[in-house]
């Protein structure tokens, strides 16, 4: 996103630029407002949240909401569940998709096109439409209310896209690099791990953020498959703030802020690589 | 103009030295002779991914088809008893149900409204981004990324609160700053208004992906061509139509197709904004199928509705596949 277009500005362009900046700032306000509201509400005293007279700025700042959120039963186990499920799913998806992407990016073999078709077609299946058979399948296999059931689904649901994306990076790495490593005595797989794998880093970064966001934010499957309070992922646990008597918005926003932090941090770290990964890997293919 | 021109806005170092040659044939074809040694290797490499995908997608899809011709209820599910075959009964029942068609129409209208808004806003913002100062672009990019990384559930809770009748900031702004009477207004009594709020979450969440992707595509349009066209007397519209559009078209189509698929399957936003029990007038296809399956305990009906959804989408899907394969062929 760092591409700027240095050019000599003619006077009329300068005037236009001001107009575009104003439009851009308006868009900034609209896009950023919910984020602002999330953070500011988490820090607002409860009296202001339950007020008929909402103000755009808080009058004072408090950490009560965070305290209420953290003291909610099962916060710790929910973090644990989310971490176990997401880390396993992301790592697994990256391993499987990298080796599959290497295969379809580097080799010509019978069935390659068919496999690529499968990768594309399964991306089109609506996950909600698959929920019922997946539920029944997990029930048959004893995977209901188990971490591995949810983990497997998350892992596989990002697999096609991750493979397609990483493949875009594999084909952009000159074959000669590998070949010269093999001439120097590396085995085929040795050449892959030592030479190709490090160059795939941007692709892996982009694919892993997709995978992480998918798993970290998924709600419905976890809601349906996990049944014990102490197995809930963070997203399912968040529903505790909504009761029949109303929503505890302050605590909900505080908890939401806490949940969003890991994703935002991860996103910030890989964001630059991600922007290139998106376009060069997924779109260009 | 080929889609292969759409390169990263910020490509990894290796790509700089390997600009893609776009010609009628892939230039690397010659170096990819089938190798005798290790002919099994690629199959071993794709095997784990293939097995996993088959288990999680293909088998359930087959199962959906089978179930939709049966009558699976709660009893069959728990006891594992063989479900009776009912032929096309599930389908005739669903297709003969007026409520189902209401849901289909609602889903299509909602999807169309969301996709059009997302694409118009996304393309507009991407074009504005190209023309604004660096500091403004960085600011907007930061907001887009923050919005993008916000979990769906969190975004939905915030929008739900925005629209809260008593404590919502939306009513406050409309009443106090615009002088309209929105005090205590309930946005969800009327489903059209309710869907406006839900559409807001959907579009707000989708705009970052569309904008950033289209912006990257726009950076690939040769500046000289645009300059030349405007020197030759093309207006802004003409430059866009004859120079810019052909370059970004493949990416635009792909993003639009993806949006259609995503917005057709909107589920979480409605489910969560209505507190896990959406009223019937808020049912979209995904929700309708879910309700039939899990609340009416007719898993076969749910499966049949899912299958119809997949079929409805397959028209778009074929289009998407053709686009992706066309792009995939240029290697």
Q: Compute the nearest-CA separation of B273 from chain A (Å).
A: 11
State how far the alpha carbon of A250 is from the alpha carbons of A48, A246, A253, A254, B169, in Å.
9, 12, 5, 6, 14
CB contact under 8 A, B17 and A285: no
pLDDT at B38: 67
pLDDT at A36: 92
The proportion of chain B whose per-residue pLDDT surpasses 90, expressed as a percent, equals: 22
Q: Compute the nearest-CA separation of A11 from chain B (Å).
A: 14
Q: Which residue has the higher pLDDT, B198 or A4?
A: B198
The Cα–Cα gap between A150 and A2 comes to: 38
- A 159-178 near B (Cβ less than 8 A): 159-160, 163, 169, 171-175
Write the CB contacts of A60 (distance below 8 Å, at least 6 apart in sequence). Answer: A45
Per CB-CB distance under 8 Å, the chain A contacts of B143 are 27-28, 31-32, 35
> Would you say residue A277 has pLDDT above 60?
no
CB contact under 8 A, A169 and B12: yes
Q: Residue B15's pLDDT band (boundaries 50, 70, 90)? A: very low
Helices A11-42 and B134-148 pack at an angle, to 10 degrees, of 30
Write the CB contacts of B17 (distance below 8 Å, at least 6 apart in sequence). Answer: A174
pLDDT at B5: 36
Q: Compute the nearest-CA separation of A3 from chain B (Å).
A: 7
Least-confidence region, from A20-24, A97-101, B21-25: B21-25
> Would you say residue A120 has pLDDT above 90?
no
CB contact under 8 A, A32 and B28: no
pLDDT at B211: 92
Residue B290 is nearest to which of A20, A122, A131, comparing CB atoms?
A131
Q: Which residue has the higher pLDDT, B311 or B21?
A: B311
The Cα–Cα gap between B201 and B114 comes to: 10
pLDDT at B127: 92
Q: Residue B282's pLDDT band (boundaries 50, 70, 90)? A: very high
CB contact under 8 A, A284 and B7: yes
Per CB-CB distance under 8 Å, the chain A contacts of B303 are 132-133
> Would you say residue B200 has pLDDT above 90?
yes
Q: Tell which of A17, A47, A126 to mutate to test the B interface (max B CBs under 10 Å).
A: A126
pLDDT at B16: 37
Residue B48 is nearest to which of A54, A96, A129, comparing CB atoms?
A96
- Summarize pLDDT for A74-83 with one digit per residue, the tens: 888 999 999 9
Least-confidence region, from A176-180, B61-65, B185-189: A176-180
Least-confidence region, from A232-241, A243-252, B45-54, B305-314: A243-252
DSSP 3-state of B65: helix
For β-strands A246-247 and A242-243, DSSP reports them as antiparallel
What's the mean pLDDT when you consider all of chain A?
82
Q: Residue A118's pLDDT band (boundaries 50, 70, 90)? A: confident
Region B186-191 average pLDDT: 89
Q: Residue A152's pLDDT band (boundaries 50, 70, 90)? A: very high
- Summarize pLDDT for B107-121 with one digit per residue, the tens: 999 999 999 999 999
Handedness of CA A250, A228, A134, A123 (dihedral sign): positive
Region A255-268 average pLDDT: 82
Nearest CA in chain B to A3: B9
The Cα–Cα gap between B245 and B123 comes to: 11
Residue A199 is nearest to which of B14, B38, B80, comparing CB atoms?
B14
Per CB-CB distance under 8 Å, the chain A contacts of B307 are 129
Write the CB contacts of A193 (distance below 8 Å, at least 6 apart in sequence). Answer: none
Per CB-CB distance under 8 Å, the chain A contacts of B138 are 1
pTM: 0.78
By CB atoms closer than 10 A (0-12, 13-18, 19+), residue B30 is exposed
User: CB-hemisphere CA count at 13 Å for A210?
Assistant: 29
CB contact under 8 A, B317 and A124: yes
Chain B CB within 8 Å of residue A61 CB: no
> Would you say residue A4 has pLDDT above 70?
no
For residue A185, list its beta bridge partners: none
Q: Compute the nearest-CA separation of B299 from chain A (Å).
A: 7
pLDDT at B49: 93
CB contact under 8 A, B45 and A224: no
> Would you say residue A281 has pLDDT above 70?
no
**Tokens (6 digits) for A29:** 């306000």
Comparing CA positions, the residue from B120, B142, B217 lying closest to residue A31 is B142
Highest mean pLDDT of the ranges A65-74, B67-76, B146-155: A65-74
DSSP 3-state of B104: helix
Q: Which residue has the higher pLDDT, A57 or A128?
A: A57
> Would you say residue A10 has pLDDT above 60?
no
Region A29-36 average pLDDT: 93
Q: ipTM of this complex > 0.90? A: no
**Tokens (6 digits) for A150:** 């949810």
Q: Tell which of B147, B153, B208, B322 to mutate to test the A interface (max A CBs under 10 Å).
A: B153
Nearest CA in chain A to B155: A34
Region B82-92 average pLDDT: 86
Write the CB contacts of A108 (distance below 8 Å, at least 6 apart in sequence). Answer: B32, B33, B34
pLDDT at A123: 77
């Amino acid at each position: 996103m760092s591409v700027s277009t240095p050019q000599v500005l003619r006077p009329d362009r300068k005037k236009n630029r001001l107009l575009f900046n104003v439009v851009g700032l308006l868009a900034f306000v609209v896009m950023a407002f919910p984020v602002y509201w999330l953070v500011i509400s988490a820090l607002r005293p409860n009296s202001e949240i339950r007020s008929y007279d909402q103000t755009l700025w808080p009058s004072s700042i408090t950490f009560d909401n965070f305290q209420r959120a953290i003291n909610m039963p099962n916060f710790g186990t929910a973090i644990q569940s989310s971490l176990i499920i997401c880390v396993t799913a992301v790592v697994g998806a990256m391993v499987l998709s990298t080796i599959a992407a290497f295969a379809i990016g580097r080799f010509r073999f019978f069935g390659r096109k068919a496999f690529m078709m499968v990768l594309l077609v399964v991306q089109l299946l609506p996950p909600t439409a698959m929920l019922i058979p997946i539920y029944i399948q997990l029930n048959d296999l004893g995977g209901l209310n188990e971490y591995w059931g949810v983990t497997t689904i998350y892992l596989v649901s990002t697999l096609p896209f991750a493979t397609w994306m990483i493949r875009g990076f594999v084909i952009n790495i000159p074959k000669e690099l590998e070949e010269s490593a093999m001439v120097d005595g590396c085995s085929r797989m040795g050449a892959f791990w030592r030479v190709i794998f490090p160059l795939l880093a941007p692709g892996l970064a982009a694919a892993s953020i997709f995978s992480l966001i998918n798993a970290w934010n998924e709600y419905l499957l976890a809601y349906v498959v996990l049944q014990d309070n102490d197995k809930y992922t963070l997203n399912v646990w968040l529903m505790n703030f909504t009761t029949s008597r109303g929503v505890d918005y302050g605590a909900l926003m505080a908890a939401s802020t806490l949940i969003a932090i890991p994703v935002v941090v991860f996103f910030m770290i890989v964001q630059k690589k991600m922007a290139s990964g998106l376009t060069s890997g997924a779109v260009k293919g | 103009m080929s889609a292969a021109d759409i390169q990263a806005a910020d490509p990894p170092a290796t790509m700089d030295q390997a600009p893609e040659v776009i010609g009628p044939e892939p230039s690397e074809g010659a170096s990819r002779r089938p190798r005798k040694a290790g002919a099994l290797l690629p199959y071993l490499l794709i095997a784990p991914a293939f097995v996993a995908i088959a288990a999680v997608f293909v088998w359930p899809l087959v199962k959906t088809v089978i179930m939709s011709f049966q009558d699976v209820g709660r009893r069959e599910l728990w006891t594992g008893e063989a479900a009776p075959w009912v032929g096309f009964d599930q389908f005739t029942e669903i297709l003969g149900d007026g409520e189902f068609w209401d849901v289909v129409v609602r889903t299509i209208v909602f999807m169309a409204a969301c996709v059009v808004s997302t694409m118009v806003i996304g393309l507009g913002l991407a074009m504005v981004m190209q023309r604004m100062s660096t500091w403004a672009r960085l600011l907007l990019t930061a907001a887009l990324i923050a919005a993008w990384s916000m979990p769906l559930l969190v975004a939905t809770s915030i929008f739900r609160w925005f629209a809260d009748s008593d404590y919502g900031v939306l009513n406050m702004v409309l009443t106090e700053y615009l002088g309209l009477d929105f005090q205590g207004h309930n946005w969800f009594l009327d489903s059209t208004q309710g869907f406006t709020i839900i559409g807001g979450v959907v579009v707000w969440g989708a705009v970052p992906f569309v904008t950033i992707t289209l912006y990257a595509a726009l950076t690939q349009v040769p500046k000289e061509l645009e300059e030349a066209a405007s020197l030759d007397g093309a207006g802004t519209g003409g430059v866009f139509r004859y120079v810019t559009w052909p370059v970004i078209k493949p990416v635009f189509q792909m993003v639009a197709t993806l949006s259609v698929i995503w917005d057709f399957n909107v589920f979480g936003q409605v489910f969560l904004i209505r507190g896990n029990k959406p009223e019937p007038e808020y049912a979209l296809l995904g929700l309708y199928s879910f309700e039939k399956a899990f609340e009416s305990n007719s898993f076969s009906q749910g499966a049949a509705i899912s299958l119809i959804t997949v079929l409805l989408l397959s028209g778009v899907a074929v289009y998407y596949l053709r686009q992706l394969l066309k792009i995939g062929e240029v290697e």
